[in-house]
């Protein structure tokens, strides 16, 4: 099969979803079939991949939503994609990518799959001010999802979040994989990466990996560490990543008197360097209730490092408390108490279990998706899968959806600019 993968972000924009699409494309191209990737333009980027990349015009909405918003009905890009004869379309974002997928389905008579990766309602609330604009954005999102022929979610929690937005259709849980190999690097490799930091061998090292945003549970981490310091227990806390709230997080750590025990490395893009940081840690702290899938939990598990998580969060799915991870109530006090009660020996034992029970490679994840692609394609060709497009996708509807998308983004951008101008005054 020839697959067309679509997403609203892709390298050099680095996030969990762009990483997922990159792994899908590389593994399909290397060992399963062929694919192309359709994504918005990004200034100055030169794509050098073993698979074709089609970029289409985009709007500079980076400050607003974290990535550029694609203009998916550009005829040149649509023509280049259709000329390659895609046999299945797979969108990884329910906004521009889904609109592009719906247009391509009209022209190619090809089924459209969508994976729901993240809690878009929270992203929308963070990016767009005003209840009416938020409702319009969510309505567009749900309409795009309902128009797809099959919907995948990366966890049960992601499916529940999708239901909360008003989606009433069926979905299938298809977990993402991990691109870190199972096992730890050599000790000298770990030392070469982490040796320049104050990390005593006799001191437990805690780790956070991800965007430095408050909604990732970072206040809980700092509150828990303050309790740890008050109890006189030595520790080091390493934050790997960057993000919009980084300056505030650093300032709060200093205000709480946690420096120099708390270390900020900045973003780490080299996967082997990141693997060394996981392997140097005793415990990953990831008290996020925002994330729909605990990718970093699986990455840590690849290196036999357990994670501390919020009980019943999406990231905690599949984790057994005290056996393959630590589960706590959502409070800084509970986080601090869990750290006080956990010896390095116990954490090492739990980490070994996590490696055996939680690890899933991208190779296995994509092969599972490939098998499902084949089933979808067969059901589509045989008529078992109903043609949603025949009852819901006239061209004017796609144009209206795109216009609504641009309208919401433009109004949100205007509000953002007014807010910034007001602050400068």
Decide the pairing of beta strands 58-59 and 69-70.
antiparallel
Can you say whether the dihedral through the CA atoms of 147, 105, 393, 60 is positive or negative? positive
What pLDDT band is residue 59 in, cutting at 50, 70 and 90?
confident
CA distance 73 to 416: 26
Residue 90 phi, psi (nearest 5): -130, 105
3 in Cβ contact with 28 (< 8 Å)? yes
> Per-residue pLDDT tens for 289-298?
988 788 899 9
What pLDDT band is residue 421 in, cutting at 50, 70 and 90?
very low
Q: How many CB atoms lie within 10 A of CB 402?
A: 20
Q: Where are the beta strands (DSSP E) in 136-186?
A: 150-153, 172-173
Among residues 139, 140, 90, the alpha carbon closest in space to that of 117 is found at 90
Q: Is the pLDDT at 393 greater than 50, yes or no?
A: no
Among residues 17, 251, 269, the alpha carbon closest in space to that of 277 is found at 269
425 Cβ contact partners less than 8 Å away, ≥ 6 residues apart: none
What pLDDT band is residue 96 in, cutting at 50, 70 and 90?
confident
pLDDT more than 90, % of the chain: 68
Q: Is the pLDDT at 11 greater than 70, yes or no?
A: yes
CA distance 217 to 360: 25
CA distance 273 to 277: 7
**245-283 exposure pattern, b = at least 16 Cβ within 10 A, e = fewer:** bbeebeebbeeeebeebbbbbeebeeeebbbbbbbbbbb
């Amino acid at each position: 099969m020839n697959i067309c993968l679509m997403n609203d972000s892709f390298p050099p924009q680095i996030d969990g979803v762009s990483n997922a699409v990159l792994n899908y494309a590389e593994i399909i191209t290397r060992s399963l079939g062929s694919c192309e990737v359709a994504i918005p333009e990004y200034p100055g980027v030169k794509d050098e991949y073993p698979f074709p990349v089609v970029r289409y015009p985009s709007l500079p909405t980076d400050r607003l939503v974290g990535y550029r918003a694609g203009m998916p009905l550009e005829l040149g890009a649509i023509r280049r994609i259709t000329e390659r004869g895609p046999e299945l379309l797979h969108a990884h974002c329910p906004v521009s990518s889904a609109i592009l997928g719906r247009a391509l389905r009209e022209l190619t008579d090809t089924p459209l799959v969508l994976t729901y990766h993240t809690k878009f309602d929270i992203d929308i609330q963070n990016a767009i001010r005003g209840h009416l604009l938020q409702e319009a954005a969510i309505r567009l999102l749900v309409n795009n999802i309902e128009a797809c022929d099959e919907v995948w979610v990366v966890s049960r929690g992601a499916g529940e979040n999708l239901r909360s937005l008003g989606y009433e259709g069926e979905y299938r849980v298809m977990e993402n994989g991990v691109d870190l190999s199972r096992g730890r690097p050599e000790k000298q490799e770990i030392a070469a990466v982490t040796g320049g930091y104050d990390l005593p061998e006799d001191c437990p090292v805690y780790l956070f990996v991800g965007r430095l945003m408050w909604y990732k549970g970072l206040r809980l981490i700092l509150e828990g560490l303050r309790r740890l310091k008050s109890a006189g227990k030595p520790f080091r806390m390493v934050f790997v990543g960057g993000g919009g709230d980084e300056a505030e997080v650093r300032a709060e750590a200093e205000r709480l008197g946690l420096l120099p025990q708390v270390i900020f490395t900045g973003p780490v893009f080299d996967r082997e360097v990141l693997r060394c940081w996981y392997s140097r840690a005793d415990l990953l702290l990831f008290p996020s209730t925002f994330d729909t899938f605990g990718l970093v939990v699986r990455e840590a598990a690849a290196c036999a490092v357990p994670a501390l998580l919020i009980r019943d969060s999406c990231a905690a799915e599949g984790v057994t408390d005290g056996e393959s991870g630590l589960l706590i109530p959502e409070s800084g006090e509970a986080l601090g108490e869990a750290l006080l009660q956990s010896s390095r020996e116990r954490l090492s034992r739990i980490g070994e279990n996590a490696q055996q029970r939680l690890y899933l490679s991208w190779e296995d994840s994509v092969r599972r998706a490939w098998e499902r692609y084949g089933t979808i394609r067969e059901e589509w060709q045989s008529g078992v899968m109903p043609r949603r497009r025949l009852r819901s996708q006239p061209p004017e509807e796609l144009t209206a959806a795109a216009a609504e998308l641009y309208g919401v983004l433009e109004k949100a951008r205007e509000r953002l600019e007014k807010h910034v101008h007001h602050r400068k005054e």
